[in-house]
Amino acid sequence: MTRYVIDAPTLLHLATEELEIDGRHQLVAPSSIRSEALELLLVEVVRGVRTEKAALQCHERMTEIKIRVLGDRVSRRTAWRIARQQGWDTLRDAEYLAVTRLQADALVTLDAELARKAEPLVPLATLADLLSEAAAAPRATKDVQHDGDDHDDDENGPQHDLHSAPGSTR
């Protein structure tokens, strides 16, 4: 199984286009992903890009996409360390990179700025890497796991070192 971190714009794209994730893959993200994606929908409604009804339908589809969300102490501390090392004044991007370093094989993002920041720090993958061969079919994943506990043990799964993680920067 390949683990991919996705960000809010990617989650929104997957839900909007009703894309199906390859069953051999697992999605992982910081615990803030759903709120960030909902905020993106709100901005679209306020700007008149999407109706409220369409936004709420998309939100429903987003909640049906199975994502292992992480908000544990180790992830937050790693995000802090990345942000400090890079001279960033926000943790948003650092959270995605931290979860990628700790729990995933690669990051998939449609955000060009995040991809630029991530490239020297974590492996990147493409949206196509996530999708099944029947990518145009409606999504088949449901339920959400939440691993937002606040302890420093390894029960969240295998740890991946940046240099030994499978996959390569694309």
pTM to 2 decimals? 0.77
Quote the percentage of the chain above a pLDDT of 90.
77
- Whole-number Å distance between alpha carbons of 42 and 39: 5
Per-residue model confidence as pLDDT tens digits over 121-162: 999 999 999 997 654 344 333 333 334 443 333 333 333 333
Measure the CA–CA gap between 60 and 72, rounded to whole angstroms: 25
- The answer to whether residues 74 and 82 touch, using CB atoms and an 8 Å cutoff, is no
Rounded to an integer, the average pLDDT of 112-121 is 97
Q: Which domains does the chain have, with CATH numbers?
A: 2-142 (3.40.50.1010)
